[in-house]
Amino acid sequence: MNRRDFLKVSGVAGMALTGTGARGSEGSSPSLEFYGVLVDTTRCIGCRACEKACATEHGFPVPDTANDAALEKPRKTSETAWTVVNRYDTTRGEVFVKTQCMHCWQPACTAACLTNAMHKTPEGPVIWRSSKCMGCRFCMVSCPFDMPKFEYHEWNPKIQKCNLCFDRLQEGKKPACVGACPTDALMFGMKRDLMEIARVRIYNHPERYTHKIYGEHEVGGTGWLYLSAVPFEELGFRTDLGTTPYPEYTRDFLYGVPLVLFGLPALLYGLNQMSGSDNED
């Protein structure tokens, strides 16, 4: 009878393994070479051609860029605008900053997603796949930049955020916003190359730039990089996010799962047998 009990218990534990192995391949060894965009805010003139190109490319309402009223106060990206340009009055005058998904090297949203609907492609873009998503919005809770946006007024809602024009990239084209930028404030390329270019610009014009590249190390490094003349706090950037990739915050917990899943049943069954007063066999 004891042996039968034991087999029952171990069978159940085995079932649990198939369901809940904590380790997975996706995201554990992300590619070190991936595409990104360098934003040089000292070059941006706030024309919002990028917003327009983005809306056209992805079929959103095209903003009226002739009217600057939209720049009056900082806006956030939304479910109908994957990118917005904001104006900040800084210690060195007016500065324009484009915002969109940062395309993290190790994104929180993809680690959060229980169906891998949020997916970091090897090329770099973090994309959303509708056939997998169940609309739980855990990606929104987890994203340190608050980028995924949800369509609250649709019966069949989608998560909306910049996908770095993944379709265009596969056709060998640049992202729409980069192509539309008239002042080369946006530069598309491999992150490694963009980092070199950014460093060269700071080196050549040390007085023009604050000596930091936002996105180099933030949350483990992002695909989008920013150069600025003023400290990034003045431009509405969060500088308190740390340099730890966000999936690290849950990794320890997930690694503990197999330990508990197998250690605890052994302990419990042992306790049960120890606490028995009857010796039938």
Partner 1 sequence: MSQMTAVNDQGGFWSFLRSQLRPRGKILTPFNVISVPIILLGLGILVVRFTKGLGSVTNLSQEYPWGFWIGFDVVTGVAFAGGAYTITFAVYIMRMEKYHPIVRATVLNGLLAYVFYAGALALDLGRPWNIINPIIGNDFGFNSVLFLVSWHFLLYMLTELLEFSPVVAEWLGARRARRILSSLTLAAVIFGVTLSSLHQSGLGALYLMAKPKIHPLWYSEFIPIFFLVSSIFAGLSMIIFEGTISHRVFKDQIDPKKHGSFDDIVIGLAKGAAIAMFVYYFFRSLIFLHDKQWTLVRGGWGAWYLLEIIGLVLIPCFMYAYGVRHRHIGIIRVASILTLLGIVMNRLNISVIAYNWNAAVRYYPSWQEIVVTMMVVSAEIWVFRWIVFRMPVLREAHELPSEKQEKTVRPPVAASL
Q: Which is nearer to partner 1, 20 or 170 (CB)?
A: 20
- Interface with partner 1 (CB under 8 A), residue from 29, 91, 131, 279: 131
Q: Least distance in Å: CB of 198 to partner 1?
A: 24
Could you write out the DSSP letters of every residue in the chain?
Answer: -HHHHHHHHHHHHHHHHHHH----STTTS--S--EEEEEETTT-----HHHHHHHHHHTPPPP-TT-GGGGSS----BTTBS-EEEEEEETTEEEEEEE----BSS-HHHHH-TT--EEE-TTS-EEE-TTT-----HHHHH-TT---EE-TT-SS--EE---TTHHHHHTTPPPHHHHH-TTS-EEEEEHHHHHHHHHHHHHH-TTTS-S--BTSSGGG-BSEEEE-SS-GGGGT----S-SS-TTHHHHHHHHHHHHHHHHHHHHHHHHHHHH------
Using the rule CB under 8 A, give the single segment among 33-41, 134-142, 206-214, 225-233 that binds partner 1. 134-142
Hey, which residues between 150 and 169 contact partner 1 (CB under 8 A)?
150-157
CA-nearest of 164, 115, 163, 167 to 139 is 115
With CB under 8 A, what is the number of residues at the site for partner 1? 76
Q: Which is nearer to partner 1, 149 or 191 (CB)?
A: 149
Hey, which residues between 96 and 125 contact partner 1 (CB under 8 A)?
108, 110-116
233 in contact with partner 1 (CB under 8 A): no
Q: Least distance in Å: CB of 230 to partner 1?
A: 22
Q: Least distance in Å: CB of 163 to partner 1?
A: 18
279 in contact with partner 1 (CB under 8 A): no
Q: Least distance in Å: CB of 50 to partner 1?
A: 21
- Interface with partner 1 (CB under 8 A), residue from 93, 275, 279, 281: 275
222 in contact with partner 1 (CB under 8 A): no
First to last CA, the chain: 9
- Interface with partner 1 (CB under 8 A), residue from 70, 190, 197, 254: 254
21 in contact with partner 1 (CB under 8 A): yes
Q: Least distance in Å: CB of 227 to partner 1?
A: 23
Q: Least distance in Å: CB of 121 to partner 1?
A: 14
> Which residues, other chains included, contact 23 with Cβ-Cβ below 8 Å and sequence gap of 6+?
254, 255
Q: Least distance in Å: CB of 158 to partner 1?
A: 8
Q: Least distance in Å: CB of 48 to partner 1?
A: 21
Using the rule CB under 8 A, give the single segment among 33-41, 48-56, 193-201, 268-276 that binds partner 1. 268-276
137 in contact with partner 1 (CB under 8 A): yes
DSSP β-ladder status, 118-120 and 126-128: antiparallel
Binding mask 60-99 for partner 1 (x = CB under 8 A): ----------------x-xx--------------------
> Which residues, other chains included, contact 34 with Cβ-Cβ below 8 Å and sequence gap of 6+?
105, 122, 123, 124, 190, 191, 223
